Structure formats: structure tokens, C-alpha cells
Amino acid sequence: MSQTQQTAARKTAVVVGALGVIGRYIVERLEAAGDWQVIGLSRRQGKDRPGVRYISVDLLDPAATNKALAGLSEVTHVFYAAFQAAAGAASGYANNIDANRDMLVNSVSAIDLVAPQLQRVVLVTGTKYYGTHLGAFRTPARETDPRHMPPNYYFDQIDWLTAYQQGKRWDWAELRPQTLCGFAPGTPMSIVPVIAVYASICKRLGLPLRFPGIAWNSIYQVTDSAHFANAALWAATDARCANQAYNITNGDYFRWCNLWPRIAEVFEMPWAQPQVISLTAQMADKGPLWQTIVREHGLQPYPYDQVVAWPFGDYVFNSDWDVMSNVTKSRQHGFHDVVDTEEMFVRLLRQFREQKIVP
């Protein structure tokens, strides 16, 4: 391929929420593909490198967003993975309508205004679309299942995007993952650091690893962040994905009661039967202890409140109902990747130890 052809084939992506537990992995996946220029948007400033540059912007400020994105005329794809949590329990995050809707509106409309080559917007929502945060729901959930009683900012996002796209030159795809498993310092919305820090503190206190919630025997599912990034790339480039929604999970299911002993093995500690506690409450005073652990083991110096989100752990570990998505549609439309979830947890937790995130 000539240099001219290579240039013409290159795509330019804006990843909104580029430093989060989803966006960070999408950036890395596009970077590895080799034929993308990547622009990451986030409130915090990322570190530029060849092929990847970052723009720090407050997406809740329309004027600032328009100004910051005014030069992005070359953009061909948008990956929207930004998120703003609400105060209180993680199960209530779906109620945070205004901020999560407005960030999408401000960023996509600003890019649409200046990017004549825009082809597709990939919107990341999630299984709260089905009411996973409210209690038992129809499983395995299908993309065509009816909505639950609002509020839910996912509804507001996809409704706005669907209406705004009418008559445009570009289309959209919506992806619905469940409980992302990765690591993004400063945005700890992942269950893996919750488990890793909880296990490390239990071990330091001489306690066995006890499952802290009531979902011990329930069927559950998760999504490896790297696996999700592969799905996002597929959704951005496959013609079949135009104006379609897809469930994206690892493709299997598990029970915590079967996984928990393997997690204890990773940390070389005993496990015991569940003891239901509020992690948010019980771990609130463990910041000084964590700093001691960091010093003793020479860990990476992430602040306690940036490495783990205890309300998210309480939400996941107390979902005492089956949480299952049907991923047949994504497979029929061309995405066939699967991940063994038990092996994923072992791999990621070992990586956390090797990378000195936990001891």
C-alpha cells in the first residue's frame, strides 16, 4: 500500500471518557490496531504519545466543549464511554440523568458540527438498561426486552442519540456490558480492584477472605475491559452494527461461591463462608492502613479513594438475583470473542500483584 493509500485508510477516533475503565482500554486497542489516530477526551489531562493525544475538557460546559473540539474536522468515529456517578449507593447511579445525558449531547453535537467525515458513534450503556440494579429481571436479557420504569439515564442517552441521528450522514451502535473488569487509576469503577484491595486488607489483618455480600449463590456475569475494547472496535467498523444495540459480556456465567476459593488462592490466603457487611461502611476507616500496606510493600502510590470504589462492590456483591445477558445477537452479527471469566479473574488479580497495585 502506498503512503497515500495508508493515509487515506487511517481513521480518527474520539474516545470520550478516555481515562476511565472502558475508555482507557479502547484507546489502547485502537492504538494497537495501527490504523487509527486517537483523541482522548476527559476532565483530567492524559499523557500524549505518538498516535494518541488528549484534550482536557469539562463536557458539562457546552461553550467550553465546542471551543475545545472545534478543530476536530478529521474525526471519523466517536466512542462514548464517559460517566458521572451520583452520590450514594451505586445502584442509584442510573438516576443521575442530567449530567450523563448532557455530556453526550455536548460532545457528540460539537463533533457533528465540525467533522464532515463522521461515520459512526459507539455509545456505551449497560445492563442497567434492563433494571439489573432494581432486582430480578427477565434473563437472559435480550436487546429487544422492554424497558423498566424510568428514571434511567441510558434511556435518555439513546433516545437523544437516535433522534439526533435522523437524517445525518453517520449512524450509531449501542453496547451494553456488565460489570467491567479492568483498572483505571482515579476512576475505580471496576470490581477487580475492589476484590484486590479487600483481599489485601483482610490478609494484612490476619482474616480469611469472606465473601461480603448476599449474592454468594446467584448467577452472575462480567465483562473484561480488554474484551469489551475488541467489541467496541468491531461495533465501530462492521456495517451490520449500524443503528443496533448489543449485549457485550465475557459470554459465560459464574457463581461467586465457585470463584471465591480461586481468588483466595491468588492471594495465598484462606477463605471462609460469607459474612455480610457493608464495604462502604466497614472500609471507610481503612485508608491509613492501606497507606501502611503501600509503604510496607513498595506499591504504586495511588490514593485509597482512587484505587477502589466500595459502593460499587456493595452493589455487585449484593445483587442477589440472576444477572444474565443473551449475547446471541452479537455473535450472529460477527463478534465471536469469548473470555473464560474464572481464568480472567485469576489473570487480572495476578497482574495487579505483579504491577504492584496490591501486595
For residue 229, what is its C-alpha cell?
475494547
Q: Are 125 and 157 in contact (CB under 8 A)?
A: yes
11 is catalytic: no
> Which candidate in 128, 130, 153, 246 is catalytic?
128
Q: Are 84 and 107 in contact (CB under 8 A)?
A: no
128 is catalytic: yes
What Å distances lie between residue 318 and 48, 52, 126, 251, CA to CA?
39, 39, 18, 22
DSSP calls for 289-303: HHHHHHHHHT-----
CB neighbours of 23 closer than 8 A, spacing ≥ 6?
Answer: 15, 16, 17, 40, 42, 79, 81, 82, 184
Amino acid at site 257 = C
What Å distances lie between residue 328 and 122, 225, 227, 245, 336, CA to CA?
19, 20, 16, 12, 9
> Which candidate in 25, 154, 198, 302 is catalytic?
154
Largest CA distance in the chain: 63
Residues that are catalytic: 128, 154
